[in-house]
Amino acid sequence: MMQTSEAQASQGPVRRVALVDDDHDVRAAAAESLTLAGYRVDAHASAQSFLDSLRDGYPEVLVTDMRMPGLDGLQLFERVLERDASLPVIFITGHGDIAQAVEAMRRGAYDFLEKPYATHRLLTAVGHAWEQRRLVLENRRLQDAATQAESAWPLIGVTPAMERLRQTIRHIADADVDVLVVGETGSGKEMAATALHRWSRRSAGELVALNCAALPESVIESELFGHEPGAFTGAQRKRIGRIEHANGGTLFLDEIEGMPPSVQLKLLRVLETRSVAPLGTNEMRPVDLRVIAASKVDLGDPAQRGDFREDLYYRLNVVTLYMPPLRERREDIPLLFEVFTGQAARRFQREAPPVTDAVRRYLNTHAWPGNVRELLHFAERFVLGVHTLPTPPAAQAATSGDTSAEGTLAERMDRYEAQLIRDTLAANGGNVRATLESLGIARKTFYDKLHRHGIERREYLSDKTE
């Protein structure tokens, strides 16, 4: 039997709840209450009927009676754990089954309701369970998308800007023209260079990189062009420069706007003649390479170009690629974060923690001035468990614990109560049972207060256990 509320369903995502109870009257009453609350209810008179229905898809929450003929609630729970251990299961129990229900919660069940239960208690439990399931399913969706995104590595993103960038790079990859990549610091210019090299016929050769702004003039010449023994004081052995080392491959010059003017002139000759003369010799050695230069400023703008040679700019500017900042591709942030956390988890050899609503809000609202590089570092701190989230301004007053703040006595007491609950949850790692014992309140009262104060319990979980 299926009951739906089309009016509710049209207002938001479908929220599916499976209800299993052999008592027709109890099943009908619970189904009606859940339907009126906006859930799509799949009601079943037996556990086997529910299991048979799973071929049509999984619900977000399962509510089941403990005692039923045939497969009982605990046996159904075992079957569910085998198929999807993250499906929240809420038991409906009689007084004599409480011990079994507590044991089921220890093994991963979400909650239990003792008969007779109030309707709002059922709706509260299902509501919290549905939020937990939503997070799990969203994380799964992102994990699947991240796996698919690996094929687009290193240019990950589903926004139109990234789609166009990938298409352009694939189109010019084998054209063997020099390329200028422009974008803000941390936006992924080196990733564009990596993609150009990897997707070209030069991929068998070396991708040789040099940061032009990181080396003084006395060093960068030797690094780029190489030198012969005795070319200058201290040059005791021959050195192959980056240009010659990139022969047959790709030379990536990052922050080229920081290259000294005298070196710019020599680089211009290399680009025009495709040959290099190491320091200390007049011998011109031919080189076969593609040059990709990156700049965080617009070299076509004289005001930004500074002392960068105009003729070198035009020589490099055969094709220009623009790397959009992260704020212009915000839809890619969750996907990038999922990929980065997966990489960090493998590198640090630890499991990535679940992504909470608080983290999602931060990902979606933070300005990301450091772009992709900043997001990468945040993902690494997240996996290591050392990340911190700023307190929203609106919440700072409510969580300050200052009982002398403005407002009525009731408002001040509400702020104090909310902060006390947050502190207790944090001290107990989000564990409900320990928090209830510390606060000395009933489970129903606890969940009601969480809802009233807008507190997300899972944000305080120290691990994935309850």
The 10s digit of each residue's pLDDT in 127-186 is 888 888 887 777 777 666 656 655 556 788 889 999 999 999 999 999 989 999 999 999
Confidence class for position 402, pLDDT limits 50, 70, 90: very low
Do residues 345 and 286 share a domain? no
User: Which tens digit of pLDDT belongs to each residue from 101-126?
Assistant: 888 888 888 888 888 888 888 999 99
pLDDT at 3 over 70: no
Is 154 inside a domain boundary?
no
DSSP per-residue string spanning 176-188? ---EEEEE-TTS-
Do residues 211 and 339 share a domain? no
Is 71 inside a domain boundary?
yes
Is 430 inside a domain boundary?
yes
Is 151 inside a domain boundary?
no
Do residues 49 and 136 share a domain? yes
Confidence class for position 193, pLDDT limits 50, 70, 90: very high
Do residues 402 and 446 share a domain? yes
Confidence class for position 386, pLDDT limits 50, 70, 90: confident
pLDDT at 449 over 90: no
Contact by Cβ (8 Å): 236, 221: no
H or E segment and range at residue 143: helix 119-149
Do residues 112 and 182 share a domain? no
- Tally of domains in the chain: 4
Do residues 215 and 235 share a domain? yes
Report the percent of the chain where pLDDT is more than 70: 87
Is 153 inside a domain boundary?
no
Of the ranges 248-252, 302-306, 383-387, the best mean pLDDT one: 248-252
> What proportions of the chain, in percent to the nearest 5, are helix, strand and coil?
50, 15, 35
Residue for token pair 């409900």: 432
Contacts 24+ apart (CB under 8 A), 31-36: 31/1, 31/3, 32/3, 33/119, 33/122, 33/123, 34/122, 34/123, 34/126, 35/3, 35/4, 35/5, 35/8, 36/5
State which of 384, 404, 432 marks the end of a domain: 384
Model pTM score: 0.59
Of the ranges 92-101, 142-151, 309-318, the best mean pLDDT one: 309-318
pLDDT for res 420:
84
Query: What CATH number does residue 378 fall under?
Result: 1.10.8.60
Is 28 inside a domain boundary?
yes
Q: Report the C-alpha gap between 418 and 424 in whole angstroms.
A: 10
Find out whether the peptide bond into 302 is cis, omega within 30 degrees of 0. no
Q: Which residue has the higher pLDDT, 90 or 397?
A: 90
Do residues 132 and 246 share a domain? no
Is 284 inside a domain boundary?
yes
For the chain, give the mean pLDDT. 83
Confidence class for position 55, pLDDT limits 50, 70, 90: confident
Do residues 27 and 121 share a domain? yes
Query: What CATH number does residue 236 fall under?
Result: 3.40.50.300
Query: What CATH number does residue 88 fall under?
Result: 3.40.50.2300
Strands 319-323 and 40-44, bridge-based pairing: unpaired
Q: Which residue has the higher pLDDT, 316 or 466?
A: 316
Contact by Cβ (8 Å): 417, 453: yes
Q: Report the C-alpha gap between 292 and 197 in whole angstroms.
A: 9
User: Which tens digit of pLDDT belongs to each residue from 406-425?
Assistant: 567 677 777 878 888 887 88
State residue 297 phi and psi, 5-degree precision: -120, 160
What is the SS3 assignment for 344?
helix
State which of 146, 180, 198 marks the end of a domain: 146
Do residues 194 and 318 share a domain? yes
Do residues 27 and 102 share a domain? yes
Do residues 205 and 318 share a domain? yes
Is 415 inside a domain boundary?
yes
Owning domain of residue 352? 328-384
Do residues 221 and 302 share a domain? yes
pLDDT at 61 over 60: yes
pLDDT for res 404:
45
Residue for token pair 């002398």: 404
Q: Report the C-alpha gap between 338 and 352 in whole angstroms.
A: 10
pLDDT for res 79:
87
